[in-house]
Amino acid sequence: MKVSKALSVLALALISLSLPACDLHKEEQHHEEHQKIVVTSPEIKDVTVTQPYVCQIRSQRNIDVKALQEGYLEAIAVKEGQVVKQGEVLFQVVPVLYQTRLDAERAKAKVAQIKYDNTKRLNQAANPVVSEQEVKLAEAELAEANAKVKTAEAELEFTTVRAKFDGIIDRLSQQEGSLVKKEEILTTLSDNSVMWVYFNVPEARYLEYKLGHNSSQQVSRLELEDSQIELVLANGSKFPYSPGNTVTIEAKFNNETGNIPFRADFPNPDRLLRHGQTGTLLIHRTLRNAIVIPQRATYEVLDKQYVYVVGEDHVVHQREIVVAYEKDDIFVIKKGLSAHDKIVLEGVRQVRDGEKVEHFEFVKPDEALTNQKYHAE
């Protein structure tokens, strides 16, 4: 019994001695894994980025249809929302008064014509009894009378309100029988065959577009090369027609917002778009030979982005970068890095500026962007 008890005590002592050694080995192994640094380089590749803009949709022509003469609204020939053709009758103001005025002016013109003919005949007789001055006076009176006839004809014509172009009738502001005044709005006419989509561009982005692309012969037109423009409607669906890649730029910036309005012209053959709609305009741009890095290789301090760059001597240095675009899990770099730099991908929190890294694993740029085994810390 004494021997057995002594053996038990010895076994417990050996176990207690081996446990700290095992824990120490595991801790050293964990520390070694924790200190593992993964390094990569920026990749040079073509990247398509998307810039969204809130936009307002307007008809290329949207006008107020007004009464051209005062009078009672005799007839309304259209309905709200109706599609009309150029020259089609929309409204009719009672023409009786204007017809009477025209008849009176025509009668006066006939009298003036007779007076002129008689005066001219008397002047051209063998023994003229009227002077050349009287002939000219009669001729002037005739011209005045004919001018008044044309004015009366125009006034009568103005009692009929016609469509100035093909379009869609908006809400009717007056009812039949209403007394309307001259220039009173009767409805609105919209030409929706082509829609003007306006969006506001910040000054920095404007300069990027303007300096990075070819302008057309017109100063106000800008062709966005390697770009595609899309319109997303309020329900999230994409408008099926494209305006191409040319936009129109307005003349001046808004001093309060620092933006300048751009306009893209969308064909609208199905008349799906209407004046006053809103949506989101997307500009998809392909950036050629862009410098790209994973977002997880960066960290932020006071709204500035930084990376750790590993030098030839394996010393780590903090470097500020300027991000041009953010897409998914990558950054497109505008300034601060080149393709030859080596940056810390994994272990960003473990290194310090000026610290030397003895051991690290290098991962190819394309693998760093696609391999999912590297996770953000």
**What is the rounded (10 degree) CA torsion for 122, 126, 130, 135?**
60
Percentages helix, strand, coil for the chain (3-state, rounded to 5) are 30, 40, 35
Q: At what angle do helices 132-157 and 96-123 cross, to 10 degrees?
A: 160
The reply to whether CATH 2.40.420.20 applies to domain 36-46+289-370 is yes
Which residues are 319's β-sheet partners? 307
- Give pLDDT, residue 241: 94
Q: What tokens were used for 166?
A: 């093909």
CATH class held by domain 51-60+194-286 = mainly beta
What are 109-112's contacts with CB under 8 Å, separation 24+?
109/142, 109/145, 109/146, 109/148, 109/149, 111/145, 112/138, 112/141, 112/142, 112/144, 112/145, 112/146
Each residue's pLDDT expressed in tens, for the chain with a length of 377 residues = 444 554 454 444 444 544 444 444 444 444 444 558 999 999 999 999 999 999 999 999 999 999 988 899 999 999 999 999 999 999 999 888 888 999 999 999 999 999 999 998 888 887 888 888 998 999 999 999 999 999 999 888 889 999 999 999 999 999 999 999 999 999 999 999 999 999 999 999 899 888 866 555 456 788 887 889 999 999 999 999 988 888 999 999 999 999 999 999 999 999 999 999 999 999 999 999 999 999 999 999 999 999 999 999 999 999 999 999 998 889 999 999 999 999 999 999 889 999 998 889 999 999 988 874 444 44
Give the domain ranges of the chain: 36-46+289-370, 51-60+194-286, 95-158
pLDDT of residue 211: 81
Which class is 95-158 in CATH? Answer: mainly alpha
